[in-house]
Amino acid sequence: MNKKTVLTGIRPTGNLHFGHYFGAGKNWLKLQENYEFYLELADVQALTDNFQEPTKIRENVYEITKDILSIGIDPKKVHIFIQSKIPEIAELTVFYSNLVTMARLYRNPTVKTEISQKKGLFGANGEGVTYGFVGYPVSQAADITAFRGELVPAGDDQKPLVEQCREIVRKFNSIYGDVLKEPDILLSKESRIKGLDGNDKMGKSLGNAIYLKDDEKTIHNKVMKAITDPNKIRKDDPANPEVCMVYYYHKLFNQENLSTVCQECKKGRRGCVACKKELIEKINEFLQPIREKRAYYDQHPELIDQILKDGSEVAREIAKEVVFEIKQKMSIDYFSE
Interacting residues toward ligand TRP by CB under 6 A: 7-11, 40, 42, 45, 140, 143-144, 152, 154, 158, 161
Closest C-alpha to 165, from 114, 88, 91, 100:
100
Q: How far is the CB of 162 from ligand TRP (least distance, A)?
A: 7
Q: Which is nearer to ligand TRP, 159 or 320 (CB)?
A: 159
Q: How far is the CB of 233 from ligand TRP (least distance, A)?
A: 42
Cα–Cα dist 308/75, whole Å: 9
Q: Which is nearer to ligand TRP, 8 or 70 (CB)?
A: 8
Q: How far is the CB of 28 from ligand TRP (least distance, A)?
A: 12
Q: Which is nearer to ligand TRP, 161 or 239 (CB)?
A: 161
Q: Which is nearer to ligand TRP, 43 or 214 (CB)?
A: 43
Q: In the bound complex, which residue of the shown chain has the CB atom lying closest to ligand TRP?
A: 9
Q: Which is nearer to ligand TRP, 65 or 140 (CB)?
A: 140
Cα–Cα dist 289/72, whole Å: 9
Q: How far is the CB of 44 from ligand TRP (least distance, A)?
A: 9
Cα–Cα dist 25/34, whole Å: 15
Q: Which is nearer to ligand TRP, 45 or 228 (CB)?
A: 45
Q: Which is nearer to ligand TRP, 10 or 196 (CB)?
A: 10
Q: How far is the CB of 191 from ligand TRP (least distance, A)?
A: 16
Q: How far is the CB of 140 from ligand TRP (least distance, A)?
A: 5
- List beta partners, residue 7: 38
Q: CA angle 97-103-105, nearest 5°?
A: 55
| Alpha helices by DSSP H, the chain | 18-20, 26-34, 43-48, 54-70, 87-96, 102-107, 109-117, 119-122, 131-134, 136-145, 159-176, 216-224, 245-253, 258-267, 272-299, 301-329
Q: How many residues does the chain have?
A: 337
Contacts of 36 by beta carbon, 8 Å cutoff, 6+ apart: 3, 4, 5, 6
Q: How far is the CB of 149 from ligand TRP (least distance, A)?
A: 7
CA 277 centroid distance within chain: 30
